[in-house]
Amino acid sequence: MSTLIDRTAETDAPIIDVLAERWSTRIFDRDARLDEAALASALEAARWTPTAANTQAWRVIVARRGSATHEKVLSSLAGFNSAWAGDAAALVVFVAETTRDGQPMRWAEYDTGQVAAHFTVQAHADGLSTHQMGGFDRDVLTAAFGLGADLTPVTVMAIGELGDIRAASDELQARENAPRVRRPALDSVLVND
């Protein structure tokens, strides 16, 4: 297990432990296999995420480390993401179905974000670590998996067991140990009447 500092968020109001303790690591155990039961539970949590009119306008691509699918997803990652994400046991691409039967699915990207959030919380509750990434090439993923114009990759998530910070590069250690910060909750509220 890693020798990280306590990563529990200092919140302005009480929140459930699984949310306060969750953070987006960049240090994964490159030798650990994916906990398939935990993955199944995360996918089940995703399945039961609320979506607009129950349209379920989302899909996932699960790419386990060592597979050709993993290599395709890894090749789409941009910049620093490509330096660390390959150590995760899997990369999961969350895809929004943005049109259906020629009609726009207006809430698909929002719903796909919620799906990724529910997946993340369940994965953390089951002892897995995750990190969502926006730094990837959508066109590369679309071509690699033959996604039609109705399917839009929204995020790529690394998932697996937490790695040992002592074995990570100095840059990764610095990022991992940086203080967790968020603006105060009230600064995000536009109206509170």
Residues 141-160: pLDDT tens digits? 999 999 999 999 999 999 99
Q: What is the pLDDT of residue 2?
A: 42
Widest distance between CA atoms in the chain: 53
Compute the residue count for the chain: 193
Confidence band for 173, pLDDT divided at 50, 70 and 90: confident
Show me where the domains of the chain are located.
31-177
- In this prediction, residues 164-172 reach a mean pLDDT of 89
Q: What is the pLDDT of residue 65?
A: 98
Alpha-carbon Rg for the chain in angstroms = 17
Q: How many Å apart are CA 50 and CA 48, to the nearest integer?
A: 6
Please give the class, per CATH, of domain 31-177.
Answer: alpha beta
- In this prediction, residues 111-139 reach a mean pLDDT of 98
Nearest alpha-carbon partner for 120 in 27, 7, 3, 24: 24
Summarised one tens digit per residue, pLDDT across range 45-89 is 999 999 999 999 999 999 999 999 999 999 999 999 999 999 999
Q: What is the pLDDT of residue 5?
A: 56
Asked if the model's pLDDT at residue 135 lies above 80, the reply is: yes
Tell me which amino acid residue 162 is: L
Q: What is the pLDDT of residue 1?
A: 43
Q: What is the pLDDT of residue 179?
A: 86
Q: What is the pLDDT of residue 3?
A: 45
H, E, C per residue of the chain: CCCCCCCCCCCCCCCCHHHHHCCECCCECCCCCCCHHHHHHHHHHHHCCCCHHHCCCEEEEEEECCCHHHHHHHHHECCCHHHHHHHCCEEEEEEEECEECCEECCCHHHHHHHHHHHHHHHHHHCCCEEEEECCECHHHHHHHCCCCCCEEEEEEEEEECECCHHHCCHHHHHHHHCCCCCCCHHHHCCCCC
Q: What is the pLDDT of residue 6?
A: 72
Summarised one tens digit per residue, pLDDT across range 1-47 is 444 457 899 999 999 999 999 989 999 999 999 999 999 999 999 99
Confidence band for 111, pLDDT divided at 50, 70 and 90: very high
pTM of the model: 0.93
Q: How many Å apart are CA 133 and CA 116, to the nearest integer?
A: 11
Asked if the model's pLDDT at residue 169 lies above 60, the reply is: yes
